[in-house]
């Protein structure tokens, strides 16, 4: 659990990089507009680490997802969106490494690659939410405003998808484009950290 100093430091860096509060505001607005949880994650080896989670006001269960949690990259929509930006060779290596992890849910490398190629073609990743087949996550890669690849996703109840998928994807892409358009250059990030 981060200490209070880490939280304030993180807020200061965010405010220095996004002076209008555009990043957190955009994520919270997406969560409210979609009535769904919104997550941002980065790849950490064979896992995806959630760095932000926004919840709509109506969300009853908020404890399952938290910033800092790590999920297997191959079993998470954000992880798949991140892998979609990698070369096939790199993805093969990452999937094999993930399969070799102790306690891993082993997947077929070839089957995963077929799914990933289909998701690349569609422009988004989709899979069951970790630990819940009643919920699905839609995710896209973000243009890397901080110099590291990141992804953004929306988690919703599976029964909403047939009717709302296209609207949710439009919202997701719109927010992703706005984050990229308002993102600072890498030098601005470095200046904020110096």
**Strands 70-72 and 125-129: what pairing?**
unpaired
> Is the distance from CB of 81 to CB of 137 less than 8 angstroms?
no
Strand locations in 28-149, DSSP E?
Answer: 37-44, 47-54, 70-72, 125-129, 132-142
Higher pLDDT, 66 or 178: 66
Q: The tokens of 148 are what?
A: 């590291």
Burial class of 24 by CB neighbour count within 10 A (0 to 12, 13 to 18, 19+): middle
> Is the distance from CB of 80 to CB of 139 less than 8 angstroms?
yes
Q: What is the pLDDT of residue 144?
A: 60
pLDDT in tens, 141-160: 987 655 778 899 999 999 99
Higher pLDDT, 117 or 144: 117
Give residue 179's pLDDT band: very low, low, confident or very high (50, 70, 90).
Answer: confident
Higher pLDDT, 77 or 22: 77
Q: Residue 142 pairs with which residues in a beta bridge?
A: 150
pLDDT in tens, 7-62: 444 444 445 445 555 677 778 888 888 889 999 999 999 999 998 888 887 766 65
Q: Is the pLDDT of residue 194 over 50?
A: no
Q: The tokens of 164 are what?
A: 């709302």
> Is the distance from CB of 51 to CB of 42 less than 8 angstroms?
yes
Right CATH for 4-193 from 3.30.460.80, 3.40.50.1460, 3.30.450.40, 3.50.50.60: 3.30.450.40
Strand locations in 55-180, DSSP E?
Answer: 70-72, 125-129, 132-142, 150-157
Q: What is the pLDDT of residue 182?
A: 66
Q: Residue 42 pairs with which residues in a beta bridge?
A: 49, 150
Q: What is the pLDDT of residue 3?
A: 44
Kindly report the pTM of this predicted structure.
0.81
Q: Is the pLDDT of residue 130 over 90?
A: no
- Measured CA to CA, the distance from residue 54 to residue 88 in angstroms comes to 32
Indicate the SS3 state at residue 59: coil
Q: The tokens of 176 are what?
A: 């992703």
CA distances to 14, 125, 152 from 179, in Å: 13, 19, 10
Q: Is the pLDDT of residue 5 over 60?
A: no
The whole-chain average pLDDT of the chain stands at 81
Q: What is the pLDDT of residue 66?
A: 84
Q: Is the pLDDT of residue 138 over 70?
A: yes
For the chain, the domains span: 4-193
């Amino acid at each position: 659990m981060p200490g209070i100093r880490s939280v304030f430091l993180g807020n200061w860096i965010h405010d220095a990089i996004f002076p209008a509060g555009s990043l957190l505001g955009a994520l919270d607005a997406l969560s409210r507009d979609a009535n769904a949880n919104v997550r941002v994650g980065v790849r950490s080896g064979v896992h995806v680490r959630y760095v932000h989670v926004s919840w709509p006001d109506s969300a009853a269960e908020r404890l399952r997802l938290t910033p800092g949690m790590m999920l297997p990259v191959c079993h998470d929509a954000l992880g798949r969106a991140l892998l979609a930006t990698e070369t096939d060779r790199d993805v093969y290596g990452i999937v094999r490494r993930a399969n070799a992890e102790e306690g891993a849910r082993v997947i077929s490398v070839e089957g995963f690659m077929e799914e990933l190629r289909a998701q690349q073609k569609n422009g988004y990743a989709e899979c069951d939410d970790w630990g819940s087949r009643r919920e699905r996550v839609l995710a896209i890669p973000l243009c890397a405003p901080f110099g590291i690849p990141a992804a953004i996703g929306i988690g919703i109840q599976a029964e909403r998808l047939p009717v709302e998928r296209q609207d949710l994807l439009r919202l997701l892409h719109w927010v992703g484009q706005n984050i990229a358009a308002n993102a600072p250059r890498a030098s601005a990030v470095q200046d904020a950290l110096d």
